[in-house]
Chains A and B, each alone.
Chain A
Amino acid sequence: MRILLFEINPFSPPSLPISLGYIGAYLMKHGFKVKIVNISEKGGYSVRDLEKLIKEFSPQLVGFSTYQRNILYVLGIAKFIKEINKDIKIILGGPQVTFMPSAALKEMPMVDYLCRSEGEVTLLSVAKAIAGGTPFNGIKGVTYRINEKIKETERIEGYEDLDKYPSPHFAGIFDYSEVEEAILLTSRGCPFNCVFCYTPNASKHKIRFHSIERVLEEIKWVVKKGKNRIWFADPNFSYKKERVYQLLEGILRKRLKVKIWIETRADLIDENLLKLMKRAGVHTIAYGLESASERVLKIIRKRLSLEQLRKAITLTQKYGIEVEVFSQYALPGETFKEALKTLEFVKSHGIKIQGNSNAQQMQLYFGAEVTKDYKKFGIKPFPEKRPLYISIGDRYETETMTQEEIAIIKKLWRESSLDKGRRIVS
């Protein structure tokens, strides 16, 4: 049985579809034939190309990585596929879908399933059911529509030990030719509680790991493929310091010449670790700053002080590592003055306002605490009708900042930006 997986990012440069890679490798291990289609702002496909692809590959199941920013395009392609062959089953997964209201399925007639649990195991369950001729029987981890009724199935848990998932890199599922850097994961999930983020709830505040040996083998592999720029997509790369030491020492021991980008928290680094990071090839560390107001940091449950952030930034810069900061405005309880302070903080620390260091308005996505309880957080969504599959996103003002004030902050950030506010990691 053939399965086609789509990654669509019409507004971003091409990058490795790492999540789909994991799912693809897992399905391949279970005997399914899998193909990933990665469509970035560079396009690369015409209507005819897509039609040819669907007809020639003839998949029985098509999966989409779904975000708020691409769902319009995802639904468009799903509809197109159904018009070519209505028997092809369509499943949506990804951050937009895990906590999407089930009723949204009614507004998406071209979609058969919503993936609610871990992608690898859920898609395997669905694929096996389709292959067995009973596409809606005995499946787990999904929401589906049958006879116009919406059904939720039992959750399905993923593996605690991430090494049980085959490596997407070793599976040969990626085309590295169009991407600047290889994306790798050493862990999944986040044990913290930031209210604006979906990951802690999606991972039930748990963090799971790959073994260091596996990660080192993957690095070796991608370097062999000519990619020595590595982007570790872990939300908290240095969550367990002893692991990071092992990994970085391994990179040095194996003489792997790599340039590494990581994202971590300011309270998860120290001077010795930074020294080692620099030696092993870490060129940039992105910290979650969010706000330069202690009060706001408390409201959003960041559990970090400005002093910790300041110290981490200065230390990182001391070792010649570039610092990026993720910051946001229109956060719960944040005033106009406090939002201005964040911009000043970033400027005063010599951080280049470009790429990831461009601030963005907080987005209220499905699954984040702030979305679930938006009233409590002083969020006032605009009175407008949205499709059920779209969350509040940035269509709100707050009790402490008006729509006009938010627009001014946005303009100020854009004016200070070196690249017109283009953020890389969303």
Chain B
Amino acid sequence: MEIYIKLDDEFQKEKFFSKLPEIDIFSNIYFFFNNLKHFELIFDILEKIINFLNTYTFSYLRLHLVHPYKEELKYIYSKIYEFLISFNLEGYKHQVVPRLVVFPIFSSEPSKDILEFLESHFFPPGVILNENKKIQKGFPERVFINFCDDILLSVGYQNILLNLLDNVQFPEKNWKTCSPMIVFEGKEIFPCIYAFENKLNQIDKDLCNKCFYRLLKKAFQFKLLNFQELASLHFRLGLELFEEKNIEIAEKHFLEALKFVSSKEKKNLYYYLGICKAQMSEYNSAIEYLKNSKIFNHNTYFYLGFSFFQKKDYLKAKENLEKALEFKLPLEEKIPIVLYLGHTYKELEMYESAIDLCKEIAEEVFIEQAFNLMGTCYFKLKAYDKAVEYFKKAILLDPFCAIDYANLCLSLKALNKKEEARYYGKKALELDPKLEFVRKALKEMEND
């Protein structure tokens, strides 16, 4: 768990102490302060924390003190060292890292002298730089870049990035999670860094997605990650959002990833971008991406066919959807292909082909859209009896579909079964009063 604390005159230490039993037994606590007078508060806090650790001897805490560098720090850290001796000794005896470690992090460049002092006294130091410059030898290993207006945000967001990078290599687990966090500022407690930045008491999944996307964009801008890291994070985030059907933000991640991957890896991204674009009704882009992906599976052909269909290029739609159907697929993946191919046949006036295709699927599963399509095709073929049969079947599966009632009305009218036609026509209008052609048909029957 990570706890971030703005240490100023407003900080409510009692509130923080009362939370200690509720924080994770292995936690990192970051204190941010600009004025070194707040070291007094740190000594108070240290005492309480030591009491806590002595009571609960299965807990370890890492305290990160983030503050500017001043010369008198050597004296202050010597005093802190006194507090830690018993924990250092306990750790040494048990051959493990001490249960209480203090990490100074300087928000301004420290002297070599203090760095050496800290390293020799078990205070692994860190530093916050204002830009991402090459680190000199002998500089602390732990370097943060101050890429936000607020140092707390800079450190917090960089920890989130590190966590993401740590997790991204494991494909199977729920990797897109931050460590649990709490941020204390004055009287307020926030559930994470993003919530703190935006002064929100709660955070939801959509905000997390927004936060990750923005963070990666900033990471690029401030060179916090290399291209490979950026590409793999954008791609993994995109993929996950794609699977969650959060297509628009998935597409944004894929487009970002595209900037950083090698030409070899681009094909995979084109594939996902093609599907995203098709789902976003940007059919020209979809077709271009899918063709460039050179990945030829049933999805590529389906989304190509789907995009051509939407562009009313029915011949190309037919060609691709037929190819998609050549793959051996489970029923649930076959259904959308059959329906779009069926509609393509209908548009190409290949009514018999559409009917045969739907019949095949109807042997395995009853789908309202398939019966509706069959009814329509029979209607076009003037086989009104059959049309009535299939529209009735469609209505049985979806009794609230106005268009099925409307089609049934027209088919019955064509068979001169006026009374029945009227009944279904009225039903259609009840469900959708905007169906003008039904109103017109009813009027015609009234006039007959």
Question: What is A's interface to B at a CB cutoff of 8 Å?
Answer: 8, 10-11, 39, 41-48, 50, 68-77, 79-80, 177-181, 226-229, 386-387, 390, 393-395
Contact = CB atoms under 8 A, between A and B. Distances in A.
B97 A11 contact: yes
A73 B57 CA distance: 7
30 contacts: A10-B26, A11-B96, A11-B97, A39-B25, A42-B179, A43-B26, A44-B24, A45-B25, A46-B22, A47-B21, A47-B22, A47-B56, A48-B21, A50-B25, A68-B95, A69-B95, A72-B96, A72-B99, A73-B58, A75-B57, A76-B57, A77-B58, A79-B57, A177-B173, A180-B172, A226-B172, A227-B172, A228-B172, A386-B93, A387-B94
A107 to B, nearest CB: 11
Contacts of A387: 93-94
Given A41-B26, A393-B95, A46 B172 contact: no
Interface string B88-112: 0010011111010000000000000
Nearest to A389: B94
Contacts of A72: 57, 90, 94, 96, 99
Interface in B245-284: none
Contacts of B23: 46
A47 B95 contact: no
A25 to B, nearest CB: 23
B75 interface: no
A313 B260 CA distance: 35
Contacts of B21: 46-48
Contacts of A79: 57
A10 B93 contact: no
Interface in B290-310: none
Contact of B24 (A45, A177, A226): A45
A8 B173 CA distance: 20
Interface string B71-97: 000000000000000000010011111
B139 interface: no
Closest 9 CB pairs of A and B: A76-B58, A76-B57, A43-B24, A43-B26, A47-B21, A72-B94, A77-B58, A393-B95, A73-B58
Interface of B: 1, 20-27, 56-60, 90, 93-97, 99, 170, 172-174, 179
Given A178-B173, A228-B172, A47 B94 contact: no
Given A43-B26, A46-B25, A80 B58 contact: yes
Most chain A beta carbons < 10 A, residue from B24, B26, B97: B26
B25 A180 contact: no
B57 A394 contact: no
A390 B94 CA distance: 7
A12 B395 CA distance: 60
Given A45-B24, A47-B22, A72-B90, 12 more contacts: A11-B97, A39-B25, A43-B25, A44-B24, A46-B23, A46-B24, A47-B59, A69-B96, A72-B57, A80-B58, A177-B174, A390-B95
